[in-house]
Amino acid sequence: MAENERLDVLKNKRWLRLMRFMGSNRPEHEITRRLTVTMYRTLRSVAKQIPLEALLTSASEGVTPEFSRSVAECRHDFAEMIERVAAEPTIDMRSTICEKFVDAVVDRYLDQIGFRLVGQAQFATFDSYCAQMNRWKDLIRPALKRLAGTLESGKLPRVPAQSAATRAAEREELMGLSLLTGRVQRNGYV
C-alpha cells in the first residue's frame, strides 16, 4: 500500500526529489513543469486516501460541527489544511475553496523548500528565493486553476501529458537514485 501523503517536505519523497531538482540550478521551465506535475500527483494521491471531494464540498458550505468531525475522522494533514482554509476569512470573493486549498498546499511546500534552499548559490537570500517562488507560482497559476477546477468537478486529477523524451529523462534520473541513501549514483558508487 502506498504511504500517506504528508505536508512535510522532508517526509515526502516526491517533494524531496523536487527540492533537490530546484537546488540543482535547472532552467525555470523545467522547474515549473516538475512543480506542476508534482502538485497533480500529490493531490491525485490525496484524493485516493481521503474523501477529498466531500471535504471540499463541505468546506465550501462553511465550517460546521459535522465538517469538523469529518476532518477529525480523517486524521490527515490535507484534511486539516482544508479545515484551516475554510476557517480563514474570505478576502478574495472570486476564489473558491478549491483554489484556496491548492494555493495553500503549494505555498506550504514552497515555503518549506525555501527554508532548505536559502543560503545556497542560486538563492543567497530569502528575498531572492521569494522573488523566484512568486515567479514560479505566476507561471503555474493556470495549471493550478485547472487543478482546482478538476477537484471541484469531483474528478481525480490527471497528470498533464508529457513528451516521451521528458518521461525517459525522468525515468533515467530516478534509476540513478540509490534506494538506500536517496543520493545520485555515479559509476555504480554512491
With beta carbons less than 8 A apart as the criterion, state whether 50 and 76 touch: yes
Residue 30 within a domain: yes
Residue 183 within a domain: no
Pairwise CA distance, residues 149 & 112, whole Å: 26
The pLDDT assigned to 172 comes to 74
Residue 2 within a domain: no
Residue 54 within a domain: yes
Residue 53 within a domain: yes
pTM for this one? Answer: 0.81
The pLDDT assigned to 42 comes to 93
Beta-bridged to residue 189, according to DSSP, are 186
pLDDT per residue, tens digit, the chain (190 aa), is 346 788 898 888 899 999 989 988 889 999 999 999 999 999 999 999 999 898 998 888 878 888 889 888 888 999 999 999 988 877 767 788 999 999 999 999 999 999 999 888 788 889 999 999 999 999 999 999 999 999 888 887 777 766 677 667 767 766 766 655 655 555 554 4
Residue 106 within a domain: yes
Residue whose C-alpha is closest to residue 101's, from 185, 178, 39: 39
Residue whose C-alpha is closest to residue 56's, from 128, 129, 150, 133: 150
Residue 38 within a domain: yes
| Number of domains present in the structure of the chain | 1
Domain range for 48 is 13-174
Residue 67 within a domain: yes
CA atoms within 13 A on the CB side of 6: 12
The pLDDT assigned to 23 comes to 87
